[in-house]
Structure 1
């Protein structure tokens, strides 16, 4: 389990950053690390299979040993002759017991797996939860929305006793208050505690001393530093479960500088966004997350460095039209962590942070007048940073113009710019121009009607969709798949295994029963020596059959070890070398489902199913041959029953395989939803939509349960 968790954790990290991995050509390095973990995992799996085989030999030998002991006591101790009635009734009774005993190893293994799973779930459930916000003080004024008084906060606490062992505070001795309708700017160097302060207001940190107040009830909208985008259409990402209001939606899109971006998308706001916003730029993701918060119409807005991902003129547009006191959020309480000197004078108050402490608080003019060292140095750094960035932008612009002048001349440039300015956004000739046009904020205002027409133009579903539905096969499994597994399993091993099972194991088992029949048919009082010899011969054949069964199980373990390792290697090799278009259109949960549940089935279920199938097939064939040998006319009945059985198996196989495919697809959906919810859990909690996402997970879980139930029922 630990190795499997380590492999899946590393695989999740690889898939989450696959673009960076490919840019740095780290495929071989990651492939090597994953293969190393997988090899250790499969070795443990092989040893576990050996133990299971030994246990299977032990339990399957118990009925035979019991039969031998019974015959010994009946013949030698009591001195009774072995008659057919006694012999075959005894064999039948112990045969019935053998079927039950044969299930004991499987039962033990399932109990062990269940115990491990329950312990893991228990450890997870015993983890501490984020406590509900409990106001420990009364506000000092009526219009106070948030207030701290010597408050300390930390990111974690002890599971055993949340009140005794709390981790080191990341926020210390906070004392300030925020009034309704204020625009509060939070500044500080990297690691000063700005994001932690915002998280404490959201209720994501543990309070460790002091007093805290947050107005209740209150609705909060949160824009994290790293935007969380769902695998939905762009409109659904912005609405986030809210009802559609055209005018409000239009104002939100216009204010967040998304209008030109929507024109570029092939299906407007109906364009599907990939997982984690894969088909959006960093600035677009930040603006979509901001638009979601704006459309939410909350009382308190918490913005964590929202404008750092956008260009300076786009940031100015957003601040003026959204965040600032003249924007659509005017009158709302806004707490804004920022790293730009341009917006500091426009904040009502500024909180200066350093190493988790608030070192000063006041208006921009007041802070400059106090000549606070931390704030003064920070302002200088931000001013230098802004100046350098401006110089770089100007230099790049001059360089671009010089290159174009050399290529086509000034007149041609004007012609070129005039031509591309008349093109539709979807036909822009250059990604660079497309980006610059996207970030422009100087477009003339449009009415809701014309705006709605421009972003909701008619489109083909093929253009709107990005993520393809998971395709599931139909009908029987191709023989090529069986052959591909046979090749990695080892064809010589399969042939050897089949011969051992089909010939020797069943010969020994059949001979032992024939020997009992011959022995008991004499029905005479033989000497004890003859009975002992007959009993020894029976024991040799019967125990040899059990030993061969164990050897065949060990061979299956060796072949399954080779097959599991090779199949995973092939999958990993193909996956890491797939183009980015594959990862853009395939949900992460779907890929992880292939690497977790499907690999687990290949590791555990396929070898057992293979062994059971070969044993059942060989026993069935030998049983039919033995019946025909004893009663020849049973051959006709056997052929008829075999034909009926073959047709029944064909229909069963179609249904069973299709149910398994549906089950796999249902679990992929669960994995994708769980992964998406886990990444955006902070946003979900702040927006208060946990119940909606839990309901969605329950609905997906019900589909999985229904598929599992159908699979179990079909196997009866």
Structure 2
């Protein structure tokens, strides 16, 4: 039977078409190919329609254009596929592929030279006006602290971020299980928050050395140079160094991944064993995830072909790691493991469903066998569910954009996917944990049991429902990686009673999920409860969130008030020092000498300003760090107390991505951006006030400019948030 011809018909086409996101062609690509190319790019005409739409209403994914062909990942992937990553470094490959773009960026050197020439030209003009000599020497000192310690620091940040995402992923998975089993009270007592405070220290200092007395032309030239290099040195240089170090760490990690050797190959012990597929033998086998820490110590296990092996233990006893070792996903440190060239099929405890039809989710990339497919549906009790889907049956779209499925239905579809594969060894990691108890018995009898669909296959079953282990040919009890007991089925009643297991009565309650065998009780919600991630309810952050962020420090609101007290005097001292310097220069021009006491006052004011700025910066980052840690605790607490509907209506990948991304923004981007914004705002206000005191006519000019700025800010602010 032709698989594609059978699967794709008018109904499935219409369903697929209705769920696909349609995008307009790339306006940027059109602008670049137009005869008026530079006009469109200079005026940003290609993005203006999107900006206007975003100002009038909430933007959705449909409002965005398709990516230009040059920016698609497929084109970039083809450029990288021609390299042998065993012998080629990622940095070398990037240079070879993007050498043209890197060469073009080198043209910025001429731009920087032109900017540096402007103060020198202005200096000559000042000299002509003041009738001073033009001979002088300028010194430029560019100290950039580029140490290995900072590189290791970013490497540690990347490792901690990976660990945080891994822990958060495990937490999201376990929260769902806790909610289904009604273990909130027990888990709350054992919930521990670990706070890792990351202290960022950035030190850079530059000195301007001049042995001559201060003159107007030199002061004006120095201030002009500082104006040119202030933003690049204080902001972009540090960002460039940080991004360069992050790139170095990322390239090192990617290189290590690309050059990683394959996991151990599972070789047959001998010719006789190879002919007996389905047999698994471990002889003093030791496994590790990273070749350093022993995760599964010496194991001696012999599993016969066609047997049913039950695996039981307490939670966290590395049962899943045992499956990973059999599948070759762990490093074999010592000993031997033989699977005799057998093929595997694996069903995880957490089912995963992708956006496609029910049938495609089951057969995956396997050839379509109608008889086996019908047997699998019958074994997993899916016939009643397919009948309730209407005429589309198993051609109905499911997933984020399809209909809503319950947790039990997702688990049975995932189990059906594993059963459909014609393998020699089947690994089941408690796949029926979220299935109703009335359904579990029939699924076990029709698929996993001694008279089920897989009766002649080797089956390894992890389960906490110990009543189904009575039919096992062998029972393994794990205790933190150690196989403490290896029992035959006839010793089940005698030995298993002494093994502390989770009571099966604490498993899924029948009232939690509906009995999907009864068509009258089966309810399929054709409108998915999977929420649209792009939906936006509010375009601003509630002020209560800002208040919560700044009130979680060690002294509550007093620390924030003290921070304001430090910032305002520092800015006032900065502006007074500038006024004092202007007075000092005027006296120098008039009298030909400078007042030592005035210069001393100017020095002390700058030292005080430096101390206040340093203390306020430390206090600011300490306050925001405490606030972000409190927000993280609140987020984890909200995930723990979320309803089961929240986990059903939001894919776990989306939860993990949103939580990790938001935490990165709050921990790393928000403090630095907020601190720079406060400094820029205060410096701008101070400059305007000083200029206004000297020349009050500046205020009538600034008022219309301020109104234009406010209008543009309100217009662009909506787009930036969306």
TM-score (norm 2): 0.57
Deviation at 1:301, TM superposition (A): 4.4
Deviation at 1:213, TM superposition (A): 6.4
Match of 2:174 in 1: 17
Contact kept? 1:138, 1:213, Cα under 8 Å: no
Distance 1:272 1:378, change over 3 A: farther
The residue correspondences of 1:264-283 to structure 2 (distance < 5 A) are: 279-281=406-408
Matched, 1:557 2:670: no
Match of 2:570 in 1: 505
Local SS of the residue matching 1:515: helix
Distance 1:17 1:624, change over 3 A: same
Deviation sequence 1:80-120 (CA, Å, 0-9, x none): xx432222223323444444442466566667767777787
Local SS of the residue matching 1:155: strand
User: For 1:540 and 1:383, how far apart are their aligned partners in 2?
Assistant: 80
Distance 1:207 1:480, change over 3 A: closer
Match of 1:86 in 2: 218
Contact kept? 2:358, 2:397, Cα under 8 Å: yes
User: For 2:493 and 2:353, how far apart are their aligned partners in 1?
Assistant: 38
Match of 2:540 in 1: 477
User: For 1:136 and 1:620, how far apart are their aligned partners in 2?
Assistant: 77
Q: 2:581 aligns with which of 491, 516, 537?
A: 516
User: For 1:486 and 1:569, how far apart are their aligned partners in 2?
Assistant: 12
Matched, 1:582 2:646: yes
Deviation at 1:253, TM superposition (A): 1.1
Matched, 1:169 2:298: yes
Contact kept? 2:266, 2:337, Cα under 8 Å: no
Bigger helix share: 1
Deviation at 1:140, TM superposition (A): 7.1
Contact kept? 1:265, 1:271, Cα under 8 Å: no
User: For 1:383 and 1:615, how far apart are their aligned partners in 2?
Assistant: 68
Distance 1:256 1:100, change over 3 A: closer
- Matched positions, count: 527
Q: 1:601 aligns with which of 665, 674, 680?
A: 665
TM-score (norm 1): 0.57
User: For 2:551 and 2:658, how far apart are their aligned partners in 1?
Assistant: 18
Local SS of the residue matching 2:264: coil
Local SS of the residue matching 1:169: strand
Match of 2:713 in 1: 649
Match of 2:288 in 1: 156
User: For 1:475 and 1:150, how far apart are their aligned partners in 2?
Assistant: 57
Deviation at 1:611, TM superposition (A): 1.9
Local SS of the residue matching 1:214: coil
Match of 2:426 in 1: 302
Distance 1:241 1:377, change over 3 A: closer
Local SS of the residue matching 1:461: coil
Distance 1:115 1:186, change over 3 A: same
> Which fold has the larger relative contact order, with Cα–Cα distance below 8 Å and residues 6 or more apart in sequence?
1
Contact kept? 1:220, 1:302, Cα under 8 Å: yes
Contact kept? 2:530, 2:650, Cα under 8 Å: yes
Deviation at 1:185, TM superposition (A): 4.4
Q: 1:291 aligns with which of 411, 416, 426?
A: 416
Contact kept? 1:148, 1:211, Cα under 8 Å: yes
Matched, 1:74 2:218: no
Distance 1:249 1:98, change over 3 A: same
Local SS of the residue matching 1:597: helix
Superposition CA RMSD, Å? 5.5
Q: 1:130 aligns with which of 263, 272, 275?
A: 263
Please list every run of 5 or more consecutive structure 1 residues that lacks an aligned counterpart in the other structure.
Answer: 76-81, 345-349, 357-372, 386-391, 394-429, 441-453, 659-716
Compare CA radii of gyration and give the structure with the larger one. 1
User: For 1:286 and 1:259, how far apart are their aligned partners in 2?
Assistant: 15
User: For 2:289 and 2:549, how far apart are their aligned partners in 1?
Assistant: 52
Match of 2:457 in 1: 334
Distance 1:228 1:169, change over 3 A: farther
User: For 2:580 and 2:319, how far apart are their aligned partners in 1?
Assistant: 85
Distance 1:540 1:219, change over 3 A: same
Deviation at 1:74, TM superposition (A): 0.5
